């Protein structure tokens, strides 16, 4: 294994993350080395060659920390250790070293809005009682009503519709309430308490010392709550993106201005660590020292850009492509707004089509453009058009990979993996499903373990055939080893695309992004990318001398030339001209 030094700045003078392709590994579902049916860190390490061959720059690991797994690891009980179900700290060190040896960086998740109720500090807070410094680490309040029997405010959340849960005090009597914006087992930290901020500085330094290349910040728009935790008439919203532009209706638990103090502080921690590491580095050390902070923040572009100011975070997940219908006008409007709002603060946008919270895009796009799919898909729902989803999914992927900025891929999308929409209720484990009593389908369908080998137990996910969520029989046709042999497979499309993206500098600035006759057209001096969002073939003129170099269907011959520099782009297909 050779050591491949990475440079903080690429040939065009851009930091590596400006146009990086970062692959999300959801450790439970990626690969299981020990055969217990649960993915683990050794499984990730064993598949690093797949990721290196794919051509990504980095991986982002969803949480692998000690956790009761009420929210699949987004409920952390110990921020400084690996859960035994995923392995050990030594496994993590090995993974980081082996990834770096292949030129891949490693970004880890950090979950600072809430911990698990099993965290020792939450348990200490329960024991210590009202008014104690232990309670002050979390958001405990007395209830309203004569005997404190009503929650402190009407904030929504939890399984009974309230973001508050009442605890029993040491004497067994009902006592205070604690805040949990997410599940009942996920109590929110009190970030007005300086001890919380100090503790998280140490968490960051612990992982930086172990050599990780950055952090994806879970719920980066949470943490700070409005002073006094007021009730407020909030305009209800549909879907994932939270409307926070108008301060009069901004939800008091989201996107508060005080959250930026936390992000500035974290930026200083990371920059100081990087500077110290640079000072120590010898000339032949690989330069894995340019760490990044990435916000997960479901916000509108006007608010999201604030997280990207020069002294805050390097990147923010951009929810636009997750929520924009497959229609050229909508796509171009969303893309343009993202480019402009990011440029206003000197940042580059990121693009993502799938992740562990959202219906996979190969399925989402198999529905009519306007169907809302936020809550997941179950067997009782209308089922997608699989073929259309595959076709449009590949077209959308090629469009995303041709946009200026960074790209986030979700494990399995390079196989064109669809959502599993027919999981039986008894197999579902997502707390969203369980706490809503099944009213919401939840996110298990995009978390079903990856098929690596068509004819192996659990399709190669685990050596024993065990799998924490059942894999459907049809996963066989999507297995990586089947696709390896098929030059027109989605796997080969992604590999080619990621190589060409570099060659054509498709992560770099574009001269224009326009909508024309149902087409999205992204033009640069030496390339032109055309995504046809209609179901029909559409003719387009491209700059002189360019010809198709990559087609989402897999066959460049399928794009007829219909005149001097005019080409007919088939429906629901993206073509890269170079
Ligand atoms: C966002 C994560 O992506 C999601 O999986 C999790 O449930 C919530 N944050 C709460 O941590």
Mean pLDDT over residues 71-78, rounded? 98
Give the position, in ligand 1's atom list, of the atom nearest the Cα of 71: 7
pLDDT at 472: 98
Which residues have C-beta within 8 Å of that of residue 38, sequence separation ≥ 6?
28, 32, 85, 86, 468
Distance 481 CA to ligand 1 centre (A): 31
Q: Atom 6 in ligand 1: which residue has the minimum CA distance?
A: 74
pLDDT at 7 over 50: no
Mutate which of 60, 74, 180, 215 for ligand 1? The one with the most ligand atoms within 8 Å of its CB, which is 74
Distance 262 CA to ligand 1 centre (A): 19
Mutate which of 64, 68, 71, 440 for ligand 1? The one with the most ligand atoms within 8 Å of its CB, which is 71
Distance 459 CA to ligand 1 centre (A): 27
Distance 71 CA to ligand 1 centre (A): 8
Q: Atom 10 in ligand 1: which residue has the minimum CA distance?
A: 74
Alpha helices in 222-258 (DSSP H): none
Just list the catalytic residues. Answer: 218, 272
Mean pLDDT of the chain: 94
The residue count for the chain:
578
Distance 328 CA to ligand 1 centre (A): 30
Task: Report the interhelical angle of 259-280 vs 194-209 (nearest 10°).
Answer: 30
Distance 572 CA to ligand 1 centre (A): 32
Q: Cα angle at 273 between 271 and 276, to 5 degrees?
A: 110
Give the position, in ligand 1's atom list, of the atom nearest the Cα of 357: 5
Place of tokens 């690969």: 31
Q: Atom 2 in ligand 1: which residue has the minimum CA distance?
A: 218
Distance 218 CA to ligand 1 centre (A): 7
pLDDT at 67 over 50: yes
Alpha helices in 102-148 (DSSP H): 120-128
Q: In 3-state terms, what secondary structure has residue 461?
A: coil
Q: Atom 5 in ligand 1: which residue has the minimum CA distance?
A: 357
193 or 280, higher pLDDT = 193
Instruction: Classify 507-577 by CATH class.
Output: mainly beta
Quick: pLDDT tens for 151-201.
999 998 866 789 999 999 999 999 999 999 999 999 999 999 999 999 999
Instruction: Count CB-CB contacts under 10 A for residue 42.
Output: 17
C-alpha 145/C-alpha 329 separation (Å) is: 52
pLDDT at 287: 63
Distance 240 CA to ligand 1 centre (A): 12
Give the position, in ligand 1's atom list, of the atom nearest the Cα of 74: 11
Which residues have C-beta within 8 Å of that of residue 209, sequence separation ≥ 6?
none
Task: Give the model's confidence band at 6: pLDDT under 50 very low, under 70 low, under 90 confident, else very high.
Answer: very low
pLDDT at 5 over 50: no
- Within 6 A (CB) of ligand 1 lie 71, 74, 111, 182, 218-219, 296, 356-357
Element spanning 338, H or E: helix 328-344
Task: Give the model's confidence band at 286: pLDDT under 50 very low, under 70 low, under 90 confident, else very high.
Answer: low
Give the position, in ligand 1's atom list, of the atom nearest the Cα of 111: 11
Q: In 3-state terms, what secondary structure has residue 114?
A: strand
Long-range contacts formed by 141-145: CB under 8 A, 24+ apart:
141/176, 141/177, 141/179, 141/229, 142/176, 142/177, 143/176, 143/177
Task: Give the model's confidence band at 575: pLDDT under 50 very low, under 70 low, under 90 confident, else very high.
Answer: very high
pTM comes to: 0.96
Mutate which of 114, 182, 443 for ligand 1? The one with the most ligand atoms within 8 Å of its CB, which is 182
Distance 74 CA to ligand 1 centre (A): 6
CATH of domain 120-179: 3.90.400
Mutate which of 219, 223, 241, 408 for ligand 1? The one with the most ligand atoms within 8 Å of its CB, which is 219
Q: Atom 11 in ligand 1: which residue has the minimum CA distance?
A: 74
Tokens of 270: 């990371």
Q: Atom 3 in ligand 1: which residue has the minimum CA distance?
A: 357
User: Quick one: how far is CA 72 from the chain centroid?
Assistant: 14
Three-state SS string over 502-556 comes to HHCCCCCCCCEEEEECCEEEEEECCEEEEEECCCCCEEEECCCCCCEEEECCCCH
Please, where in the chain does CATH 2.60.40.1180 lie? Answer: 507-577
C-alpha 448/C-alpha 468 separation (Å) is: 8
Please, where in the chain does CATH 3.90.400 lie? Answer: 120-179
Quick: pLDDT tens for 242-256.
999 999 999 999 999
Which residues have C-beta within 8 Å of that of residue 528, sequence separation ≥ 6?
521, 522, 542, 543, 546, 577
Mean pLDDT over residues 316-338, rounded? 95
pLDDT at 280: 81
């Amino acid at each position: 294994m050779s050591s491949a030094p990475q440079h903080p700045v690429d040939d065009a003078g851009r930091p590596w993350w400006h146009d990086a392709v970062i692959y999300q590994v959801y450790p439970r579902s990626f690969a299981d080395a020990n055969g217990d049916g649960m993915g683990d860190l050794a499984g990730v390490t064993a598949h690093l060659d797949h990721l290196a061959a794919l051509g990504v720059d980095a991986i982002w690991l969803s949480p692998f920390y000690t956790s009761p797994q009420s929210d699949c690891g987004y409920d952390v009980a110990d921020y400084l250790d690996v859960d035994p179900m995923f392995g050990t700290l030594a496994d993590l060190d090995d993974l980081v070293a082996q990834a770096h040896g292949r030129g891949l960086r490693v970004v880890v998740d950090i979950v600072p809005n809430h911990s698990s109720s099993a965290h020792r500090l939450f348990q200490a807070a329960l024991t210590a009682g009202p008014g104690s410094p232990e309670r002050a680490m979390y958001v405990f309040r007395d209830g309203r009503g004569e005997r404190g029997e009503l929650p402190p405010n009407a904030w929504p959340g939890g399984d009974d519709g309230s973001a508050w849960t009442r605890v029993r005090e040491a004497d067994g009597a009902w006592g205070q309430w604690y805040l949990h914006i997410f599940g009942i087992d996920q109590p929110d930290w009190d970030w007005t308490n300086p001890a919380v901020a100090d503790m998280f500085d140490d968490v960051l330094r612990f992982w930086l010392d172990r050599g990780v290349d950055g952090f994806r910040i879970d719920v980066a728009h949470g943490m700070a709550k409005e002073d006094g935790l007021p009730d407020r008439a909030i305009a209800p919203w549909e879907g994932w993106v939270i409307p926070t532009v108008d301060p009069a209706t901004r939800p008091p638990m989201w996107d508060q201005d005080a959250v930026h103090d936390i992000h500035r502080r974290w930026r200083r921690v990371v920059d100081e660590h990087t500077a110290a590491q640079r000072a120590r580095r010898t000339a032949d050390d690989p330069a894995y020292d340019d760490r990044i902070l990435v916000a997960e923040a479901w916000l509108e572009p006007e608010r999201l850009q604030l997280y990207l100011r020069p002294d805050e975070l390097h990147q923010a997940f951009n929810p636009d492509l997750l929520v924009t219908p497959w229609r050229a006008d909508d796509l171009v409007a969303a893309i343009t707004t993202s480019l402009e709002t990011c440029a206003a603060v000197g940042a580059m946008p990121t693009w993502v089509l799938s992740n562990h919270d959202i219906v996979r895009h190969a399925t989402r796009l198999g529905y009519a453009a306007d169907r809302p799919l936020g809550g997941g898909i179950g067997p009782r729902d209308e089922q997608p058009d699989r073929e259309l989803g595959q076709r449009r999914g590949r077209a959308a992927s090629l469009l995303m990979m041709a946009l200026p900025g960074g790209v986030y891929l979700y494990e399995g999308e390079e196989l064109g993996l669809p959502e599993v929409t027919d999981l039986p209720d008894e197999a579902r484990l997502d707390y969203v499903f369980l706490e809503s009593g099944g009213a919401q389908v939840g996110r298990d369908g995009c978390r079903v373990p990856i098929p690596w080998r068509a004819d192996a137990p659990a399709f190669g996910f685990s050596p024993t055939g065990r799998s924490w969520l059942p894999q459907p029989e049809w996963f066989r046709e999507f297995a990586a080893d089947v696709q390896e042999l098929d030059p027109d497979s989605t796997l080969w499309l992604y590999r080619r695309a990621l190589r060409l993206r570099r060659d054509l500098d498709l992560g770099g600035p574009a001269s224009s992004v326009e909508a024309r006759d149902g087409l999205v057209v992204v033009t640069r001096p030496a390339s032109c990318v055309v995504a046809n969002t209609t179901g029909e073939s559409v003719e387009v003129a491209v700059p002189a001398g360019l010809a198709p170099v990559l087609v989402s269907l897999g066959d460049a011959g399928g794009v007829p030339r219909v005149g001097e520099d005019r080409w007919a782009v088939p429906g629901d297909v993206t073509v890269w001209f170079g």
